[in-house]
Structure 1
């Protein structure tokens, strides 16, 4: 009984507030319009239609004036952010003015108390939904505009936009629903308490989804990789990051196969970011061995001469040759060079191995293979 009484009191209060607001608006009409209003009050439907038509004209006029004034200012700027912003703002002004006209029309029709309250709340709900949609668009273009100013807003970029976008959507939609409940005379406190209990149950049922969700937030905050980076996981997957979402991260491998990995796995994996560090360049290492009879100075000069004619290798840092150890059949060395992008590693390694083999053959440099000599100390005696 107490809940029904409070709900009825809330309905009466909201209806009274709406009536007082409309009465104030009616009393503040211009003196030239008051006689016309009074003459039309004898025919409520004609009065309501007139109010809607006049409201539509005023709303369109206000929208046109707003666009004309701000359109000239926006045309003087180099970006399109203000163009999109003022267009949404102009539509919002139109929605507010026209919905006020609808409220006045409902008031003029003099319906019963229950019907009058329902219609007014329905119009207010339409206005809330309209403004909510426009506010969602505004936040989206604001995030995009801020992401383009990397020097000023480093925390907003291509990888953080999805997280910030969904967060603002949740806040805006939640606020709109709260105001909508209030406008209908519904006390949202009990709903919020029920939502808390339901949330606990959903949390247990969807713990994997929530783990991916929170891991997605941590990945964005910690930033171990970003869109476009080449990464290698401890499980062996290697590819370019094409998407960092709330639930998963997607990698495009060199086979043009897209791998979707849950964020909870990414959050606990050992990740090698080949695009990280001071630049995206990656060092390539080619292991090769030469015979012990080779002229090591000549080997070094042949490999370094190969660099001058190779456009695939970076000139800075310079390529280098390093002898590593005395192997069982060869002197082992590494040819090390930097390449521009990690995804080129396989193709350039292929080219270098072919070129080194050709140069060594042309310069009589032997690449030995493992050999073993077998000494027979004593032949077994033949049976008599």
Structure 2
């Protein structure tokens, strides 16, 4: 026992009044292992609540992220204090340095604040399908400073959190149903059987596996255009991330159905009138 006590009191490093002993290292390990254990318990608790249906995935993710940052900050403060440093003294002595860093890292701190806002308000969370700046992506991870998205081209896109709070962002997954309404516009030639067009469009949508049966697809007669009749095929789908593939399949099916039923999709036309002026007599 005496040997173990001497081992813990063994000085590893010494500089002026500061000395680092074995038991200091032991304290650090215990502090961070305890922090990891607490986080493990939190993960298990919210995982069970999620399975029971008492909390959704987005809320679970946001709470765990916030608690993770909070617990690690507390662990770091306790660890520094266990080494013999006084946090209040350190902060008071480095006020000028912190002010300088704050001025130089304004964008960094703005992103941090935005990260806390996103995690607390849950405007964007892991798994959401969002559109920002014309780019659609699935949220992979929401960090304190940046958010990572996976685009439809399977490219990881890193977005500063201030963009998600300051810019116009469309969150397709914000509603609880995870189902969104989409539309395909189709033009047909004047004189086409409009009822037949409506039937063919509905059939094409109903035959696709990604189109919801309830609520089912609907066809709207949008407008009499200058050279065509404008229809809109609206449908609901939960395949938000790969919806462009679904739309492409529907366009192929519509084109085939129209060809088989002699429904003409007009191409742009422009009439040119040529006026002949009388020639001058010599």
TM-score (norm 1): 0.63
Q: Map 1:229-378 to 2 at 5 A.
A: 229-233=128-132, 235-376=133-274, 378=275
* Offset, 1:363: 1.0
1:232-280 Cα offsets, whole Å, 9 max, x none, are 11x2222111111111111111111111111122221111012221322
2:89, 2:204 → 1: CA distance? 77
Q: Map 1:126-137 to 2 at 5 A.
A: 126-137=25-36
2:208, 2:179 → 1: CA distance? 16
Distance 1:156 1:131, change over 3 A: farther
Structure 2: gaps of 5 or more residues: 10-17
Judge conservation of contact 2:210–2:239 (CA < 8 Å) in 1: no
Judge conservation of contact 1:284–1:336 (CA < 8 Å) in 2: yes
Q: Which has the higher contact order (CA 8 A, sep 6+)?
A: 2
* Offset, 1:299: 1.5
1:200 and 2:95 matched: no
Give the corresponding residue for 1:147.
Answer: 46
The structure where helix makes up a greater share of residues is: 1
1:176, 1:344 → 2: CA distance? 47
Q: Secondary structure at the match of 2:94?
A: helix
Aligned residues: 269
Which deviates the most, 298-307 or 313-322? 298-307
Which deviates the most, 160-169 or 264-273? 160-169
Distance 1:330 1:133, change over 3 A: same
The structure where strand makes up a greater share of residues is: 2
Give the corresponding residue for 1:225.
Answer: 124
Structure 1: gaps of 5 or more residues: 1-46, 53-101, 107-117
Distance 1:300 1:125, change over 3 A: same
What's the Cα RMSD here? 2.7
